[in-house]
Amino acid sequence: MAITASLVKELRERTGLGMMECKKALVETDGDIEAAIDNLRKASGLKAAKKAGRTAAEGVIVTRNTDDNSLVMMLEINSETDFVARDENFLNFANKVADVAFEKKEADVAKLMSEGLEAEREALVQKIGENISVRRIVFVGGEGSVAAAYVHGGRIASAVELKGGTAELAKDIAMHVAAINPQYVSPEAIPADVLEREKEVVRAQSEGSGKPAEIIEKMMVGRINKFKAEISLTEQPFVKDPDVKVGVLAKNGGAEVVGFTRYEVGEGIEKEEVDFAEEVAAAAKGNA
């Protein structure tokens, strides 16, 4: 696979390491950026790498919930610019789509838009002059559950489902999820392949320390336990009271965390960055 400048740039942005080091790592893995990150972590002691995909797309996240707080819906709708994301026409359309989706309990975007909403979207595109797309919808909770959502600035939102407890407790935990971004509900929920991948990195780093095998084993156990706690919601210190873990907070409130979903506007969508100085210079040459 060709090692492009953009691939090297992404690896540099995610690791903070030098260009030549990143290029070499990509060559060794034939352009596999995740494998390159693993190798760089093993070789350099790099603790972690930033997630792929910059938050480039604009838009809003809209939520809805049932009166009995058993079910929550989150919907993301995108625009090309933040200016349009704050436009009244765009927001009215986003809310209408959310209302229809929640009423029909429809999470399939294609099916939802086929209910006459696609024509409205196209008309709005023509009026505003920007592409607008309904990206994703998720429902969290259900009969017998306690669910709540928290939205920060319309751009980051999370929904939490509890067994027992109150909507206020669920919203507090949803706020934590929005702020801290855990990856899994609990250590037990972490997939085996995720743990194995981290173990390989820790093992490679530990073996280079020159310490005895039994000490290395203890180091590995400690590092893996710390890793599991850092990415697990129930093991994280609660954002509003760091002396209490989220799992304990839920238990004290008579609840158990069943699941959560976190949305961030544009995550994973990469929009082309325009170098305006370069664009103007190119235009000037063309007119010369």
Q: For residues 81-92, b (16+ Cβ closer than 10 Å) or e, as one string?
A: eeebbebeebbe
Neighbours of 195 (CB within 10 A): 14
Concatenated DSSP letters for 39-73?
A: HHHHHH-----PPSS----EEEEEEEE-TTSSEEE
Q: What is the pLDDT of residues 193-251, one digit of tens each?
A: 999 998 888 888 777 667 777 887 888 888 899 999 999 999 999 999 999 999 999 99
Which homologous superfamily does the CATH classification assign to the domain defined by 58-185+249-264?
Answer: Elongation factor Ts, dimerisation domain (3.30.479.20)
Neighbours of 79 (CB within 10 A): 24
pLDDT of residue 272: 53
Expressed in angstroms, the distance from the first to the final Cα of the chain is 39
Q: pTM of the prediction?
A: 0.75
What are the extents of the domains in the chain? 1-52, 58-185+249-264
Beta strands in 49-186 (DSSP E): 58-65, 71-79, 133-141, 146-152, 156-164
CB 224 within 8 A of CB 206: no
CA-CA-CA-CA dihedral for 191, 197, 200, 205, to nearest 10: -110
CB 96 within 8 A of CB 120: yes
In the predicted structure, residue 53 carries a pLDDT above the cut 50: no
Question: Residue 253 corresponds to which tokens in the numbers above?
Answer: 């409130």
For helices 19-28 and 33-44, angle between their N-to-C axes, nearest 10 degrees: 120
Average pLDDT over residues 78-105: 95
Average pLDDT over residues 261-283: 68
Q: What is the pLDDT of residues 59-90, one digit of tens each?
A: 999 999 999 999 999 999 999 889 999 999 99
Average pLDDT over residues 185-189: 97
pLDDT of residue 248: 98
CB 202 within 8 A of CB 224: yes
Please give the C-alpha separations between residue 215 and each of 46, 103, 149, in angstroms, as whole numbers. Answer: 21, 58, 45
Q: Which CATH number fits domain 1-52: 3.30.390.30, 1.10.8.10, 3.40.50.880, 1.10.443.10?
A: 1.10.8.10
